[in-house]
Amino acid sequence: MNTRFIQFSLLIIIFSLFYSVAAFSQQNKPDSLFRLYETQTTVSKQLDVLIGICNSDFIHDKSTQNFVQHGIENIQNNFSTKCDTGKYYLIEGYLYYYSDENSKSKNNFFHSLNYLISCSDLSVNIPQAYNGIASVYSSESKSDSVLFYYQKEIDFYLKNKQFSFLPKAYFNLAFEKYEFFDAKGAITACNQSIKFGTIQKEYKSIAKAYSLLSRISYDQNTKMNYSFIESAIYFAKKSNDTVTLSDTYTKYGYYLTKDKKYKEGLEIGDQLKELFLSNPDIYKLEFNYYQYFSRYYSAIGDITNSLLFYNKTINLIRKNKLDEKSFGWIFNNMGDVACKGGDFKKGIIFLDSAIYYNKKYNDINNLWYSYYNMALANQALKNYKLANDYFLEYLNLNDSIIKKENQDKLAELQTKYELDKKESRLKLLNLDNQLNKKNTEKQSQQILFLLVIIAVTVLLIVLASIAYNIKRKANILLSKQKQEIIEKTEQLNKQAADIAMYKAQMNPHFLFNAINSVQQFVLEKQSSVALEYLNDLSKLMRSTLNFSDKEFISIKEEIDYLQQYIRFEKLRCDNKFEFHIFVTDEIDIENTCILPMLIQPFIENAVKHGIIPKNAKGNIYLNFEKVKDFKNEFLKITISDDGVGRALSQATKKYDVIAHESKGMEITENRIFKLNQKHFPEPIKGIKIIDIFVEDKSAGTKAEILIPFIELF
Amino acid sequence: MTKAILVDDAPSNLQLLNGLLNEYCPTVSVVATCTNIKDAEKAIKKNAPELVFLDVELQNELGFNLFDLFPSPDFEVVFTTAHEKYALQAIKSSCLEYLLKPIDYRELIKAVEKFEKQKQLTVNKKKIEVLLENVNNSKQTVNKIAIPNANGYVFLNTSEILFCEADMNYTKVVTSNRDSFLSTKNLKEFEEMLDTEVFFRCHKSWLINLNFIKQYSRIDGTRVQMTNDQWIDISVRKRDDFLKIFNRK
């Protein structure tokens, strides 16, 4: 964004400089251009002004070239950017071009391109460099390269939408195509130039394009040349560019002369003269004026005047210290004119000069003509040997021209190859730059990516920990609920066990037997005894209810309960037994815990299976003692009787009685097992039933219960 | 002769109690039997009995409602009840007489003997106040108790009790204003009467009011300091229960 903006503003500055240069050049005052150069504050702007000067018409002036040369030497060591260096080489390229050092010029232009491309894609100097290269090739007559670089220049403008330069560029292309005999391509390029020129109001280029079109149509005898050249004159006038107008008039006059319309031709010559007279400082106007008349007089056969104007041309060139390259063809023409006028001696002198300059500037084509003319002139003077020699030279040159054309072609191909190499290197460099840029972008992207990954990772960790926490909480909740459920289940199980226990306690046989006994007392009218038993029974039931929601009761409570119970058992079996309770001193019966109604089933069993079958009176003993093993304290409860013993008792039992008893015992065993499981890590055998034998005879049953010794406080 | 009125919604119960009194308590003369409070009111007004045997669970009403009609009765009351835990707790805390159904004639004789021995009508009104307050309060908790001592009764708000301390079969009750009373009831009976949400049996010999704990210490065993600065032990087996209650509060 930023670089774009800078480029854009740079472009604006450059354009404005160009326009100011153009404006100054319009005023025909190179001095003001030099001043413009001196007022620039930065090296870059100074270079821009110099480039502007190089692109103006003044550059043909040796003094202007010197000025540019000095200007560039002044700032040569102050280049800070690649752009500046590129501009420097561009200017050097121009300077070498105008001093006819083509290879140096080319090299500089290529150098320039090298720097400019790596400095900015948008620099207007890049197409200028292309243009310069094309110009150099043009002067070397290397058609393919010329067209290639002009095309590149155009492509650049099109790509970067710099349309204002297109009319001129298309004209240059058109001109070169014409020069290299591609009339069709030239017409297309001219049309493009006119098209873009109309849009950009670049009348100068339009005029030149029309002028070129007229030339083409003249060459092809389409008779369109006059209408084209009139359009050219119209636009040249509109452009206010006197040089272009002059060039156009020259061409117009040339057609007229060729068509032998000498009268109109002279009028055009007058126009040229007037143009020159109103702008006597402009070299090109003067040159056109002299040249036109030299040809005009030659055409009408006025050899003296023709030669006079040729001389004026030569003097003009010498006066302006311009290169003497054109002397070759000028002397050649002079020689031709002189020979036509019959003055072969004079002609030979001119042609001699022509050969000299053509050789000097290596202008093979003109040299060829010079030799040919020389041979004819010497033939006319009957200097056959010389004529023969020149003719041979002419033929040799012809060969060498063909040869040279081939060599040139070869050389061109070679340079083109090298050029391609350079181009591809440039492209590579560019790609490298882009790659570097991309790499930096990529790096920053990678860093960003890394940061994103880190952020995401952190986020994930946070989320995971949150999720974990939630899960953990859920787990805790779940385990809590599970625990609750387990507790609830245990409670329910306990309740179920309790219900089973009470059911077992509320043994229907016991109840019915108890009530049966009371009935007996009522019948015998022992009402007090009956009431006592009924009240005891209700107390027993009340105790059962009171114990139902208790985990533990004290031994005292259990003993109280058992004594009420024993009353009924005694009543049932006619006081057939005595009940004895022993508690060791270390036990505080009020403070020591026992499962409620734990002992009653054992008493019930002792009565049923020990005492009742016994023929004599028996005893039931209940002992409480505290016992210890190496790590645990137990409450040991022993219920023993001196009854008949289990073996005998089993035989006399009825089935349903066994069922109830086993169920009652099963519940009791289960309660003891659970209590011990809760208190002791290792399994404890909670109930032991021991058959008592005295002298090998069954002497009763003993039940030992081991439960943890628990105190309330 | 002691004039008595029997109140019970079941006629068979009335007949049984009447029979038992005739058989075992010849000094008691039953002047009327009633099946509801309205009849009882009429009978009391008509006969001015010294003793009323009052069933707690009547048809659609409670025996306690009789005291709405006689706020300061000039008769003694013996409640008869089957197994109604809450009503029994209220009766016990007010130190009124009661008999559990089915009525044991031996206990009936004891109750009548006790009445004839004491005939203390002066404190009756106070006891009934305690009863009614405990019965009628919305939380159904014991707010007041009557403490029997050697001289008669002390009536206390339970919220005033700091702690109860066992002293053999007696109980010493200490209040927040540093009074102390010796009760003939044992600590277990107090434990049964008082609200377990407020009173905690922290030790074989101690029942403390949790609202008066000043601090808790684990130096020299687990102990609490009450607001009167007295330190009370917490038995090892009750420590976990105590901490559970304390954390809950």
Residues B43 and B126 in one domain: yes
Domain stops at, among B115, B135, B155 = B135
- Residues of A within 8 A of B102 (CB-CB) are 534-535, 538
pLDDT band at A484 (very low <50, low <70, confident <90, very high): confident
In one letter, which amino acid is A497? Answer: A
In which residue are the tokens 């952190």 written? Answer: A458
Establish if A532 touches chain B: CB-CB under 8 angstroms. Answer: yes
Looking at the partner chain, which of A531, A538, A542 has a beta carbon nearest the beta carbon of B105? A531
> Which stretches within A506-554 are classed as H helix?
508-523, 527-547
Residues B188 and B243 in one domain: yes
Bridge partners (DSSP) listed for residue A698:
A693
Q: How far apart are the first and last CA of chain A?
A: 88
Q: What is the pLDDT of residue A712?
A: 84
> Cβ–Cβ contacts within 10 Å for residue A341, how many?
17
Residues B130 and B145 in one domain: no
Mind listing the pLDDT tens digit for each residue in B105-153?
999 999 999 888 877 655 577 788 888 888 777 666 788 888 887 777 8
Q: What is the pLDDT of residue A662?
A: 64
Q: What is the pLDDT of residue A30?
A: 61
Q: Which domains can be identified in chain A, with CATH numbers?
A: 1-161 (1.25.40.10), 163-240 (1.25.40), 506-708 (3.30.565.10)
In one letter, which amino acid is A425? Answer: R
3-state helix, strand, coil in chain B (%, to 5): 40, 35, 30
Q: What tokens were used for A504?
A: 């077992």
Total of domains in chain B: 2
A-B interface: how many C-beta pairs under 8 angstroms? 26
Cβ–Cβ gap B106/A535 under 8 Å = yes
Establish if A711 touches chain B: CB-CB under 8 angstroms. Answer: yes
Q: Give dist(CA A339, CA A379) in Å, integer.
A: 11
In which residue are the tokens 């100097």 written? Answer: A125
Residues B21 and B83 in one domain: yes
Q: Give dist(CA B99, CA B88) in Å, integer.
A: 10
Residues B50 and B149 in one domain: no
Cβ–Cβ gap A545/B83 under 8 Å = yes
Q: What tokens were used for B156?
A: 């206390």
The stretch A6-27 carries a mean pLDDT of 50
The stretch A75-96 carries a mean pLDDT of 81
In one letter, which amino acid is B32? Answer: A
Bridge partners (DSSP) listed for residue A711:
A592
Q: Give dist(CA A497, CA A485) in Å, integer.
A: 17
- Residues of B within 8 A of A710 (CB-CB) are 237
Q: What is the pLDDT of residue B51?
A: 92
Establish if B178 touches chain A: CB-CB under 8 angstroms. Answer: no
Domain stops at, among B135, B156, B183 = B135
**CB-based contacts of B34: which residues, under 8 Å, 6+ apart?**
B5, B6, B7, B40, B42, B43
A48-62, A251-265, A532-546, B97-111, range with greatest mean pLDDT = B97-111
Looking at the partner chain, which of A528, A538, A712 has a beta carbon nearest the beta carbon of B102? A538
- Residues of B within 8 A of A527 (CB-CB) are 23
What is the extent of the structural domain holding B7? Answer: 2-135
Asked whether this complex has an ipTM greater than 0.85, the answer is: no
Establish if A515 touches chain B: CB-CB under 8 angstroms. Answer: no
8 Å CB contact between A338 and A303: yes
Q: Give dist(CA A535, CA B102) in Å, integer.
A: 7
Residues B151 and B118 in one domain: no
- Residues of B within 8 A of A542 (CB-CB) are 83, 100
Query: Measured in whole angstroms, how far is the alpha carbon of residue A484 from the centre of its chain?
Result: 57
pLDDT at A708 over 90: yes
Work out whether the CA dihedral B160, B163, B167, B169 comes out positive or negative: positive
Q: Give dist(CA A557, CA B91) in Å, integer.
A: 23
Query: Measured in whole angstroms, how far is the alpha carbon of residue B143 from the centre of its chain?
Result: 11
Mind listing the pLDDT tens digit for each residue in A166-222?
888 898 888 888 888 888 888 888 988 888 888 888 888 888 889 888 888 888 887
Residues B111 and B231 in one domain: no
Looking at the partner chain, which of B83, B105, B204 has a beta carbon nearest the beta carbon of A591? B204
In one letter, which amino acid is B157? Answer: N
Mind listing the pLDDT tens digit for each residue in B57-100?
888 888 888 988 998 888 889 999 886 676 788 888 888 888 98
3-class DSSP string for A463-512: HHHHHHHHHHHHHHHHHHHHHHHHHHHHHHHHHHHHHHHHHHHCCHHHHH
- Give me the DSSP letters along A357-414: HHHHTT-HHHHHHHHHHHHHHHHHTT-HHHHHHHHHHHHHHHHHHHHHHHHHHHHHHH
The stretch A474-488 carries a mean pLDDT of 83
Mind listing the pLDDT tens digit for each residue in A364-384?
778 888 888 888 888 888 888
Residues B164 and B223 in one domain: yes
**CATH number of domain containing B230:** 2.40.50.1020
Q: Give dist(CA B108, CA B19) in Å, integer.
A: 12
Burial of A416 (0-12, 13-18, 19+ CB in 10 A): middle
Q: Give percent of chain A with pLDDT exceeding 90.
A: 9
Residues B198 and B236 in one domain: yes
The stretch A477-497 carries a mean pLDDT of 80
- Phi and psi angles of residue B94, each rounded to the nearest 5 degrees, phi first: -95, 0
8 Å CB contact between A704 and A688: yes
**CATH number of domain containing B48:** 3.40.50.2300
Q: What is the pLDDT of residue A19?
A: 52
Q: Give dist(CA A691, CA A710) in Å, integer.
A: 29
Mind listing the pLDDT tens digit for each residue in A89-140?
888 888 888 887 888 888 888 888 888 877 765 677 888 888 888 888 888 7
B/e letters for B121-156, b = 16+ CB within 10 Å, e = fewer, are eeebebbbbbbbbbbeeeeebbbbbbbeeeeebbbb
pLDDT at A27 over 50: no
User: From A592, which residue of chain B is nearest by alpha-carbon distance?
Assistant: B204
H or E element, residue A225: helix A225-239
- Residues of A within 8 A of B106 (CB-CB) are 532, 535
Q: Give dist(CA B221, CA B236) in Å, integer.
A: 8
3-class DSSP string for A135-199: HHHHHCCCHHHHHHHHHHHHHHHHHCCCHHHHHHHHHHHHHHHHHCCCHHHHHHHHHHHHHHHHH
Burial of A265 (0-12, 13-18, 19+ CB in 10 A): buried
Range of lowest pLDDT (A508-517, A633-642, A677-686): A508-517
Cβ–Cβ gap B83/A712 under 8 Å = no
Residues B196 and B112 in one domain: no
Domain stops at, among B111, B135, B159 = B135
Averaged confidence pLDDT in chain A = 82
Q: What is the pLDDT of residue B248?
A: 66
In which residue are the tokens 């986020």 written? Answer: A459
Query: Measured in whole angstroms, how far is the alpha carbon of residue A706 from the centre of its chain?
Result: 81
8 Å CB contact between A607 and A573: yes
Residues B178 and B207 in one domain: yes
Mind listing the pLDDT tens digit for each residue in A553-606?
999 999 999 998 998 888 888 899 999 999 999 999 989 999 988 898 899 889
Work out whether the CA dihedral A439, A442, A448, A452 comes out positive or negative: negative
- Residues of B within 8 A of A591 (CB-CB) are 204
- Residues of B within 8 A of A712 (CB-CB) are 204, 237
Q: Give dist(CA A411, CA A483) in Å, integer.
A: 100
Looking at the partner chain, which of B83, B203, B204 has a beta carbon nearest the beta carbon of A542? B83
Q: What is the pLDDT of residue A10?
A: 46
Residues B15 and B68 in one domain: yes
